[in-house]
Each structure stands twice: as C-alpha cells, then as structure tokens.
Chain A
Amino acid sequence: DGGITQSPKYLFRKEGQNVTLSCEQNLNHDAMYWYRQDPGQGLRLIYYSQIVNDFQKGDIAEGYSVSREKKESFPLTVTSAQKNPTAFYLCASSRKYTSRNAYEQYFGPGTRLTVT
C-alpha cells in the first residue's frame, strides 16, 4: 500500500522544547513538503524539498528546520523559537516538478501538535 505516513497523530509538548515530526513516503516521489494549518485557515507552506540533500524555505519557515537525508523521509523540527507552534501539520509529496508537467501533491493524515 503506497502512501504517506505521519506519526504520531497527536503530540503534546511543553513550551521551550524542540519537537520533531515524522513524515515517510513510499511513493518514490522526489519532492516533499511541509504545511501548517491553523483552525479555520488554509494550509501555509513551511519548507519544501525537490531532491535529497536540498530544501527551500516556504512562506513561514521561521522557527522550523528540516532535513532530507533520504528520499523517503522529510522530518520537521519545531524549535523553541517558533512563537505559536500549536497547529495541525501536514506533509505532502509529489513527483519532481518540471516546466512541462503538472504533478499533484499527495498528503499524509497530519500531526496535531499542542504546546503548553
């Protein structure tokens, strides 16, 4: 069964702690993405990676870090510098972008992070 897994579904942390969210895909996709969603809002892009060992900041990268050491994995670390970390975090993947092709993104089930 191909897809994207995110774990855990719910995560609780104390303020001031870093926390790493997991995202794994077995779709053989080159590109991976992290989004954040706040209540009643759309998704906002945090980071994306088109290829292993390379990634770019999205619109709201401050307070977050990522790594892309393997094609299948794109973990997101929410650092203590992120002022409002409580949110729903979604990971997605797609085939690598080219100027001639349009590839949809496939989303994981999400991780709901609560920081108190």
Chain B
Amino acid sequence: DAKTTQPTSMDCAEGRAANLPCNHSTISGNEYVYWYRQIHSQGPQYIIHGLKNNETNEMASLIITEDRKSSTLILPHATLRDTAVYYCIVRVAPGNQFYFGTGTSLTVIP
C-alpha cells in the first residue's frame, strides 16, 4: 500500500533551498511523518520527523500542513553532498514499521 506520494526527481541549484514535497492524504492521527535520504549503495540516513507541528534540526526543516495530508522537507542551503534519494515515510504502529516508497531523486547542480 502506497502511503506517501513524492515526485520522482528534482533539481536544485547549489546554495539554494531545496523544497521536497510529499503527499500522505491517508495519514491517521497517530502516524508520524519521517524523512530519510539514501546515497547510492548506502543505508538510509535519518533526517527529521514530525507529527503535527513544524520541526527543525541541524539538517533540515519539516513543514506539515494543518490537515496533515502533506508535508515539505526543506534543505535550506543545498550542497553537492545533498544529492541523494529522499524518502518521505509514514510510521505505522504497533511495530514502528516504516513504509518506503520510491522517493525523490534530488540532484544538486553546481
């Protein structure tokens, strides 16, 4: 079951903000939204997660709409090392299971 929908690919100029959208229209009240990224042939790296409020950490910001049906991951100043596949994931209880889609392939252009 596809719980999230993301664009297949995006480009971003180096130094600019990268805004990655995600739709999760079937999310339920107790499900968290997580973002991970994966550089080719490595394990996914955790970025950020949230429930209802916007969140910020040293890597990124997460903006969740009021109805929680969509969210946006913001990388404020993209660098070449941010080129990766970004996954928006909804966590499912009771086993803390994650459902990964195919993600968005972000290319940061010099």
**CB < 8 Å neighbour of A105 from B30, B94, B98:** B98
**CB < 8 Å neighbour of A44 from B43, B96, B100:** B100
Decide if A42 touches B91 in the complex (CB within 8 Å): no
Q: Min CB distance, A104 to chain B, in Å? A: 4
Contacts of A94 in B (CB 8 A): 96
Q: By DSSP majority rule, is chain B's interface helix, strand, loop, or mixed?
A: loop
Contacts of B43 in A (CB 8 A): 4, 90, 92, 107-110
- Residue of A with least CB distance to B95: A48
Complex: A106 Cα to B32 Cα, angstroms = 16
Complex: A2 Cα to B84 Cα, angstroms = 24
Give residues of chain A (37-62) contacting chain B, Cβ–Cβ below 8 Å: 40-45, 48, 50, 56, 58
Interface residues on B, range: 20 to 34
| Residues on A facing B (Cβ under 8 Å) | 4, 31, 33, 35, 40-45, 48, 50, 56, 58, 88, 90, 92, 94, 97, 99, 102-110, 112
Residue pairs across A and B with Cβ atoms less than 8 A apart, 29 shown, are A31-B96, A33-B98, A40-B102, A42-B100, A42-B103, A43-B44, A43-B87, A43-B98, A45-B98, A45-B99, A48-B97, A50-B96, A56-B95, A88-B41, A90-B44, A92-B43, A94-B96, A97-B93, A97-B94, A102-B34, A102-B49, A102-B51, A103-B96, A104-B34, A105-B46, A107-B43, A107-B44, A107-B45, A110-B43
